[in-house]
Amino acid sequence: METVVSGIRPTGNLHLGNYFGAVKNFLRMQETHNCYFFIADYHSLTTHPTPGDLHGSVKQVLVEYLAAGLDPEKATLYVQSDIPETTELYLLLNMNAYVGELQRVTSFKDKVRQQPDNVNAGLLTYPTLMAADVLLHKATKVPVGKDQEQNLEMMRTFGRRFNRMYKQEFFPIPTAFNFGETLVKVPGLDGNGKMGKSEGAANAIYLNEDPKVLRKKVMRAVSDAGPTEPNQKKPEPIQNLFTLMSIVSEPETLAHFDELYNNCEIRYGDFKKQLADDMINFTAPIRERILELSANEAYLSKVAKMGAEKARESAVKTIKEAREIIGFRHF
Ligand code: TRP
């Protein structure tokens, strides 16, 4: 079975866009691959979170991914900082990572522009840490989006360079992997583009959204004055709401409102009310699990321990072999 590794940066809550994108990807992969999914808390130190914030956001990620269906019996689910071998491989890889190539990474250059007062070495070596995460388990597949392509290319470079330097095929060279086209693209509520938190909180529906807030967001979603002639093409804001309905509602509900639209009889108030009801029904069980899991520290601790133990098995093995290859010998 092929090995998959993916890291999750602890930044903010999951919304429906994440759920039908990255999360669905993970849920399918845990059935068919040997998966390691971890919370990238070392990586998050590049932005200097406070101790309280750090633990809180790691916990939130763990809780929400479990609530969304990640199964700790199927996938190895762990916290990056529970695997100290990560840092050792990071150090070893850094010895053959060149400052010039790291400086040319687009996301690094963006950070330098965005936060000129905090251009730390962790930011520069972010791709080496990411390479360590994946190579540590000798993974062959990395499920990441377009924005991570360059980091993935660096990871491949570091793996190949190590193999060449020590003249053996030690690290398999990982490739990008996702179900891409088969995943639904979830639009946002602001009338254009996809759901995302950077477009403002009102644009996204979170899995742990309070039903009252959810309803308000949907009722305020961008629409228009309504169709003026039968069977006219839906403009983007309206099409987006229909797409959202196709995701959370019964097919008959969708067909019903589609017909009303085509007959110019649709009332957006009713349409949005139905959409809000169905979104609440869809997210309610996940939200309930989020609340339950948040209060169950004993279970979270068990999951994290189990994940760390499983992840360390391959991590310890890789580090032991890498040390030997490099030439470290015990006296
Ligand atoms: N950089 C990734 C992101 O921002 C998170 C990440 C860290 C990751 N380590 C990884 C992803 C290893 C895949 C593999 O989303």
How long a stretch of residues is the chain?
Answer: 331
pTM, rounded to two decimals: 0.94
Task: Please give the share of the chain, as a percent, with pLDDT higher than 90.
Answer: 90
Which candidate, 163, 186, 165, places its Cα nearest to that of 174? Answer: 163
The rounded Å distance from CA 8 to ligand 1 centre is: 6
How far is residue 154's CA from residue 65's CA, in Å, rounded to a whole number? 27
Q: How many CB atoms lie within 10 A of CB 314?
A: 20
pLDDT at residue number 201: 77
pLDDT at residue number 180: 66
Which candidate, 157, 199, 147, places its Cα nearest to that of 9? Answer: 147
Catalytic residues: 111, 194, 197
Written as one letter, the residue type at 184 is: V
Which residue is closest in CA terms to ligand 1's atom 7?
Answer: 7
Q: Tell me the chain's radius of gyration from C-alpha atoms.
A: 23
- Compute CA 280 distance to the chain's CA centroid, rounded to the nearest angstrom: 23
How far is residue 331's CA from residue 324's CA, in Å, rounded to a whole number? 13
Phi, psi of 8, rounded to the nearest 5 degrees: -120, 115
Half-sphere exposure of 142 (CA within 13 A, CB side): 30
Residues of the chain with pLDDT under 50: none
Q: In this predicted model, what pLDDT tens digit does every residue of 178-208 receive, in sequence order? A: 766 677 889 999 998 889 877 777 899 999 9
Going 219 to 223 to 228 to 231, the CA torsion angle's sign is negative
Q: Which residues line ligand 1 (CB under 6 A)?
A: 5-7, 9, 40, 43, 130, 133-134, 142, 144, 148, 151
Q: How many CB atoms lie within 10 A of CB 216?
A: 12
Q: What separation, in Å, do the N-terminal and C-terminal C-alpha atoms of the chain show?
A: 38
Tell which atom from ligand 1 comes closest to the C-alpha of 129.
9
Which residue is closest in CA terms to ligand 1's atom 10?
Answer: 7
The rounded Å distance from CA 36 to ligand 1 centre is: 12
Q: In this predicted model, what pLDDT tens digit does every residue of 8-19 receive, in sequence order? A: 999 889 999 999
Phi, psi of 226, rounded to the nearest 5 degrees: 105, 160
Please answer whether residues 84 and 42 qualify as being in contact, where contact means their C-beta atoms are separated by less than 8 angstroms.
no
pLDDT at residue number 39: 98
pLDDT at residue number 197: 79
pLDDT at residue number 301: 98
Structure tokens at 305: 């321990």
pLDDT at residue number 192: 84
* Spatial CB neighbours of 248, under 8 Å, sequence gap ≥ 6: 16, 275, 278, 279, 281, 282
Please answer whether residues 278 and 249 qualify as being in contact, where contact means their C-beta atoms are separated by less than 8 angstroms.
yes
All domains in the chain, ordered by first residue: 3-184+297-326 (3.40.50.620), 197-291 (1.10.240.10)
pLDDT at residue number 228: 95
